[in-house]
Amino acid sequence: MTDTRDRTPTTVADVRSRLNGRDIRSIAIFVAIAFALAWLVALPLWLGDGLASPLFPIIGIAMMATPAVAALVMVFFIDRPQRRARSLGLWPLKPAGRLIGYALLGIFVPIVLALVALPIGAALGVFPADFVNFSGFQQTITEQLRALGESTLPLPLPLGTLVILQLVTLPTAAFINLLPALGEELGWRGWLLPKLMPLGPVSAILISGVIWGLWHAPLILLGYNYVGAPGWLALAAMVGTCIVFGAIFGWLRLRSDSVWPAALAHAAFNGAGGTFLLFAMAGEQVDTTQATVLGWSGWIVPLALVIVLLATGQFRRPSPPQTSTETVTAPTDAASRSAEEVVTDDR
């Protein structure tokens, strides 16, 4: 029998046949809560000095918690599943080997993708690079020291050594940024993605990515991530970034059956996003709608990876352990339904 869950729905009726009315209602409520809270939290920036406000760092972290709040509202007050922590991918933390393996991928894959994006952008002429003298990094250090009233020379270590130290410490960002990243991942990959999976992996990736990207609007429209870009272009670029990298985070969530590898990946991604400053040319403006992991040239490698994962059927949850046929010959209806829920949905 053909499994229609892997086929992308093409009509509204097809969507409704995959998601029942209760699921659609739950998704709408979740999105409304997450978006409303994000705009509410960011409102002081819009009424004040924008990204120049001293409140911006606090507001940015608080905004990252809004998807988690929406997810918790859903599991405690709307859907109320029996296993709330499991439905969000918070528990159980086993099998340990699988969880650790995907957690390590979550830490290192975003870092590699962030670094690979830079020579690709340079080769395509959209990233002004200086991979030899690190002149942009030198300029950044000089400006920071001058702002502190410190002497700019000599530096405590050779510039190349400082660059290496920056790169070596990148994995620690996955742990430093973990709690804020978990605030987003608990909502987007913990709750939303599994709800959308009955539509098939392609539709689930696209829909969740668009929602995640548009959720960033309160900050993106103020110039966050895409300095100098028109609002519509910046928001479109953010949606593209969220679709591509959200797919990778989603793969980690589904294959590990846990939200923690996705949260580590999100945290590592945020930490590695600024690595382009190490290798940029001094005096040149980097157009992040085109360069870095935030721009189209930085999507090439991760998009190819996502296509391979889709083509090989990797966007599915791991199969549950097989029960010995010597002890169990025919599962009950209740057990069959339980197994179906574990494999296909979090509901």
Please report whether residue 3 resides in a domain: no
Count up the domains in the chain and report the number: 1
State the Cα–Cα distance between residues 245 and 110, nearest whole angstrom.
9
Does residue 254 contact residue 238 with C-beta atoms inside 8 Å? Answer: no
Cα angle, residue 214 at apex, residues 245 and 231 outer, rounded to 5°:
105
d(CA 276, CA 136): 9
The tokens for 278 are 């190490």
pLDDT > 70? residue 129: yes
Residue 220 belongs to some domain of the structure: yes
Give the per-residue pLDDT at 142: 86
Q: Give the model's pLDDT for residue 323.
A: 44
Gap between the Cα atoms of 76 and 290, Å rounded: 42
Q: Are 111 and 268 in contact (CB under 8 A)?
A: yes
pLDDT tens-digit map of 225-271: 999 999 999 999 999 999 999 999 999 999 999 999 999 999 999 99
Report yes or no on 29 lying in a domain. Answer: yes
Residue 170 within any structural domain of the chain: yes
**Residue in 136, 247, 138 with CA at minimum distance from that of residue 188:** 247
The helix or strand, by DSSP H or E, that contains position 184, with its residue range, turns out to be helix 178-185
What's the whole-model pTM score?
Answer: 0.87
* Residue 314 included in any domain: yes
Q: For residue 45, what are the domain limits?
A: 15-318+333-344
Q: Which class for 136: exposed (0-12), middle (13-18), buried (19 or more C-beta within 10 A)? A: buried
Give the three-class secondary structure for 121: helix
| pLDDT, mean of residues 320-335 | 44
Residue 5, domain member (yes or no): no
Judge residue 249's burial from the number of C-beta atoms within 10 Å of its C-beta, 0-12 exposed, 13-18 middle, 19 or more buried: buried
Q: Structure tokens of 153?
A: 């020379």
pLDDT digits (tens, 9 = 90+) for 144-201: 888 877 666 677 789 999 999 999 999 999 999 999 999 999 999 999 999 999 999 9
